[in-house]
Structure 1
């Protein structure tokens, strides 16, 4: 596989909170050996008789790239036939355990790395293999996710998630400051329609949805989350007070914060909410957790991959949609929301029909549930927008600086009141105005 640019993995739902890993051990990338790299290449290309000449590892991200996981590039030179001196190159991206102790401790609570390992080792293969087993098919519907070469949550041989390189295949990130554009959103709606439809199929033919790792809300285990959520909402109220014409909206939002007691339980209520359709969710739905391949002549997006599957959960798919609409699109793009949602629903139904699953989930039912989840999108956006849209130089390197809740709050305050761009404030204002319009507060 090709190497991955440092931008590929830029972003996670709770950007300064999530991390990959379980055990408090040294940095696992140091344990990579020739034999381990040989195993990766053998699994990737499906050939056993190879000879690895050499390999190197290097950081695939820079300080301030919005990461709490440790991302490395692994580049190896090898021969397929030891008798022939023709050298091939293999390049992979590996996600490794964080080096800071507080990050590791947090991961023991929210199990982000273990979840991603289960998704790549069990859930994604089930989406493919159950089609062969239950439907007897050779032509398989596959989800729009990267190929995973290796996923292991244990320290033996190495705890890591190692994947293909999307960048060398022509994929790149959308502009997070501009937000997803209509053509990009359309590809995403089709990708989510297919992914959620495959999730429904797996749910009908397995017990995956009963696994606690997909059922539990990992953020309930974070004691500081209540104060963090309240601080996030209150800081947005302060921003509104300083913007001419937004004083009344600031007052309404203040009343809302009091009504929902800071927002934590309200957010968790949405996370636990059921509905007419349940499936496996992406969970971390913002624009830096997806990449697009663009037509070299027209510049139009033609293919999408979604990744960072650390918060995959079993729940209402409207959460994924409202998460991405309010975290990663502009007000102008959301004017086409009805068309986007129709495309999503059409893709979902065509996918489940193709898989032999008949859903009793009309477009009208779907729109009602979307309407009921707009507030969820608002809560997520208020929490993450000031951080995910922060300038790179403002975000500490969390491989060198350990996690601290006060630091998270400080960064948000800095972006909102001192260094924050007009883009951040306009995004927040647009979303608040929408909540006033639909009567959330």
Structure 2
């Protein structure tokens, strides 16, 4: 019996099925430290049956599991060989957040037509773009019309995360410095199909069209006015389950945390997920894309309800009031409870003052809706509460400021104003105060 029990336990530990029961699904290669593979833009694949050949034009690299919006330009053939006129790379590997690799996305001009700026974005789905180029024989200029693009498809996925986080740096070029950066993530089941979407751009003639399954705009139920492609149909079970849409507008040359929450429309179990992170205004169209606008992204992580559990930090209290030291490196604990959207609740339980040899219990110092800002591995906390009711009917105002490092080093300054009397409270993870 003991041998059978050991065998069953071993099977549970190594079984992929059992592992999936306990592990919440995450995104592939989310720290970008894994393999980077050749990027072959989807618009450059040729139909072997119609053209008698298959072309695979490589533009830069993708982090495995993701697709960068590099483009191959216009297809042309010479002596049976295919080439791409105006091929443009918009994504590359750079140093990461305390790591070797992150993805840098830059809106980049087409080398053949400087006025055509290729938007830089990364997606779990397939990145695509199209246009209808024609030559003006009177001016010998290339005119591009009917441009469109985005992402279609995604990754198989059956979880219900509450949010998405990643680290980023952001900069703007001189062209359109007010262009926002975009974060879009969505969960769905079933499928949407759009007929006759232009997919492969040739130097002469109309682009080749395909039926596109689960185009981003179709799944999200967006207005298709001005978009390329034909009729949209969907399967009977097609359902948009949750969406996260957010903007990043502040530039920073330090690593900063993005945090956003999904809005759920349904209790259904998802079948697919797509995450799109863009250096610029993803749905804004070609006219808003700013040359040189860049976003560096690392450590993309889905957040689940369990990730918002409280975190206890043991340390030491120092309290000064009316020129006297009321608490001197008194052992204590604070509790941080994340509440989403870069917010948390701060709790200092059972604050007790030593007044003239007698103890006075004030109760809990609780500050809700505290702002959390992360940069370079340090989280900064700021919040306040007016009219906090303490033990014995005491009413006080509290102002909180402090930091916690990734290693758990805590420095908190908790200013309490009681009946016009300031109480200066500091909490640290070591016996040395702020």
Q: Assess same fold via TM > 0.5.
A: no
TM-score using structure 2 length: 0.24
Q: Which has the higher contact order (CA 8 A, sep 6+)?
A: 1
Greater fraction of residues in strand: 2
Q: Which has the larger radius of gyration?
A: 2
Greater fraction of residues in helix: 1
TM-score using structure 1 length: 0.24
